[in-house]
Amino acid sequence: MEAGEVSVLIGGKAGEGISSAGQVIARLLGQLGYRVHMHFDYPSLIKGGHNFAIVRGAGEPIGAVRNRVDLLLALDQETLRVHEWRLGGSGVVVCNSDTVKCPPGIGIPVQSILASEAAPAVMGNSAMLGAFARAAGMDWALAEQVFSRSFLKETARNLRIARKGYDASGERLRIQPLGKAPLPAFTGNEAMGIGLVEAGLGVYLSYPMSPTSNLMHFLAARADEARVRVIQPESEIAVILMALGCAYAGTRAAVGTSGGGFSLMVEALGLAGMAELPALIVLGQRAGPSTGLATYTAQADLEFAIHAGHGEFPRLVIAPGDANEARGWIRVAMDLAWKYQLPALFLPDRIICEGMYSLDPVATPGYRAGPVLADPGVHTYYRYALTDTGISPLRFPPAKGELVRVNSHAHDPDGTTTEEPGITRAMAEKRHRKMAGLARELEGLHPVKVAGDPDARTAILCWGSNKGVCGELGERLGLRAVRPVALWPFPEGSFAEAMDGVDRFYGVETNETGQLTRLVRAFGYQASGMVLKYDGRAFMVDELEQELRKVLT
């Protein structure tokens, strides 16, 4: 075991509840005061196939996992075959001795336990969870407390099965309690759902697509209590246009998709830009191009997000680094989209969407801004009034005696179509002026994060979910880890501050060409090299450490 941390892998077939078992392990570690990250790996199918979750706990907030694990929980032979190498010398195997040829370790007769309770196969993970708790040196009382809150269906039977697994197991290592207040663990999708409700969401629209489907499911399951409506229209084209209809009428909407769905939304993105309609688009990145690897990760849509759409129009692009930032910054994105009346693109990657993280009680940054509203006493209302800030105050219909008109064509201040060159130019400049205010406001929100050694002259540059792995390795290797959260408008001032004193830097990105590394070059920053990964998988801490050591020497 690495000092002060623990890593557990549970694997089995799709449909055996691997993800939910991983979540229970995360919850157990959370109760011991650990900050957790869970990485869930699954192929794009419903039953069968190999699923696994790696849960890692540490004393400080983390957002990455290691290749090496301390405990390997194998529900089937395939798990052992694929992952046994991860144990190294000291790891412990807990396996289903009824179906797996177990190496030395702990064998749990899962099928026999299930038979004794006349329980279905899907409850086998409860036996493994009980066995894990014992192997990790936890008291039954603590385990039972967490299990009883986690097994929402058939609680009593699942608890009996877990107890039998616990009794059949044996203590092999003791995960030390850290004495910190426990934090609950949520996926990035769930954290975004919380953030959206905090942001005053009225309507959530989505066409199902990994990796953001679970954001729709989270909100749909809580739609009544959170007072939001969740709508699944006929296509992503309908999704985004319905959201723009909501915006016109004054209701905060958000949409969620991935690259393929966003491709379909691009025409309407320009409409949002031209008609100056606030829109919040969650673009959960997965490995492309095209259908790509439907359930695996990538950070390859940054340039797409910044450039999508024909013509020129202002937009906001934000990439959170973990579930906490996903929750806090999605509200920033919503408020800024409404204040500046433009489309905001929110770019988590699959690791954030479907990975679990310990969630802080309070969202940060605590930014709040309302839309600029027109004075209802002033006649005549001009939807596209020319102003110094470029922001035309909003009104929503019905507004007796006034007209509220938005238009995809070039238009006059009242929204009527124009082809006149003077007003065309004036309106383009008005829209563009919004970017200046937006950029200023972003700079005040600490949009570029520095982790690791802030004084180091060698830096690694990353974005999105590589926050976790780069932050840890910055600490370990004495590197400055620089990470913009806001990517467009690019926070030039904050980035310059973050890079002050850096002699050389390396881009670390989960894509093939180094999209952020290329973006910063336009602002005068030339990387000395890049470490890139584009096989659908995230960087593991130990893996990236080796890669970085290679390029740094």
Residues at the contact surface with other proteins, assessed by CB under 8 A = 27, 30, 182-186, 194, 197-198, 200, 202-203, 222, 224-229, 231, 233-235, 237-239, 241-251, 253, 267-268, 271, 275, 359, 361, 396-409, 411, 415-417
Q: Rounded to the nearest 10 degrees, what angle do helices 140-150 and 18-31 cross at?
A: 130
Do 497 and 474 form a contact (C-beta atoms < 8 A)? no
Is the CB of 393 or the CB of 415 nearer to other proteins? 415
Smallest gap from residue 519 Cβ to other proteins (A): 29
How many Cα atoms sit within 13 Å of 28 on the Cβ side? Answer: 31
Contact 94, 25 (CB under 8 A): no
The nearest distance, CB 384 to other proteins, in angstroms, is 12
Contact 65, 17 (CB under 8 A): no
Nearer to other proteins, 310 or 549 (CB): 310
Give the nearest distance from C-beta 133 to other proteins in angstroms.
Answer: 18
Token couple for 239: 């999704």
Instruction: State which residue, 94 or 363, has the beta carbon closest to other proteins.
Output: 363
Nearer to other proteins, 341 or 407 (CB): 407
- Cis peptide, bond prior to residue 211, ω within 30 of zero: yes
Maximum pairwise Cα distance, the chain:
82
CA distances from 276 to 181, 265, 325, 409, 514 (A): 45, 16, 26, 11, 32
Smallest separation, CB 139 to other proteins (Å): 18
CB of 545 to other proteins, least distance (A): 31
Give me Rg for the CA atoms of the chain: 25
Report in angstroms the alpha-carbon separations of 464 from 318, 364, 458: 9, 16, 20
Smallest distance, other proteins to C-beta of residue 35, A: 14
Q: Tell me how long the chain is.
A: 553
Minimal distance, residue 501 CB to other proteins, in Å: 40
Place of tokens 């093939």: 512
Helix axis angle for 140-150 and 155-168, nearest 10°, is: 150
Kindly state the smallest distance separating residue 355's Cβ from other proteins, in Å: 15
341 sits in the region (left: phi over 0; alpha: psi -120 to 50; else beta) called left
d(CA 153, CA 201): 30
Residue 185 C-beta: closest distance to other proteins, Å: 6
Min dist. Cβ of residue 372 to other proteins (A): 19
Distance from C-alpha of 495 to C-alpha of 502, rounded to nearest angstrom: 11
Rounded to whole angstroms, the Cα distance separating 90 from 338 reads 54
Minimum CB distance to other proteins smaller for 395 or for 483: 395
> Contact at 8 Å (CB) between 505 and 527?
yes
Q: Which residue has the tokens 């050389």?
A: 504
Closest CA to 150 of 167, 114, 176, 126: 126
Indicate the pairing of strand 35-41 with strand 293-297: unpaired
Is 263 within 8 Å of 209 (Cβ atoms)?
no
Q: How far is the CB of 398 from other proteins (least distance, A)?
A: 4
Q: Which is nearer to other proteins, 287 or 337 (CB)?
A: 337
Q: How far is the CB of 109 from other proteins (least distance, A)?
A: 31
Shortest spacing between CB 419 and other proteins, in angstroms: 10
Q: Count CB neighbours of 500 within 10 A.
A: 10
Taking the least distance from each CB to other proteins, the nearer of 396 and 534 is 396
Interatomic CA distance for residues 411 and 414, integer angstroms: 8
Residue 81 or 310: the one with the smaller Cβ distance to other proteins is: 310
Which H/E stretch holds residue 280? Answer: strand 279-283
User: Rounded to an integer, what distance in angstroms lies between the CA atom of residue 537 and that of residue 263?
Assistant: 23
**3-state SS string for 31-74:** HCCCEEEEEEECCCCCCEEEEEEEEEEECCCCCCCCCCCCEEEE
User: What's the min distance (Å) between Cβ of 78 and other proteins?
Assistant: 30
- Smaller CB separation from other proteins, 286 or 315: 315
Distances (CA, A) of 77 to 74, 102, 131: 7, 8, 17
Q: Give 311 or 524: the residue with its C-beta nearer to other proteins.
A: 311
Q: Are strands 106-108 and 92-96 parallel, antiparallel or unpaired?
A: parallel
Residue number with CB closer to other proteins (233 or 437):
233
| Cβ closest to other proteins, residue 36 vs residue 114 | 36
* Nearer Cβ to other proteins (295/358): 358
Q: Which is nearer to other proteins, 168 or 226 (CB)?
A: 226
d(C-alpha 194, C-alpha 320), whole Å: 15
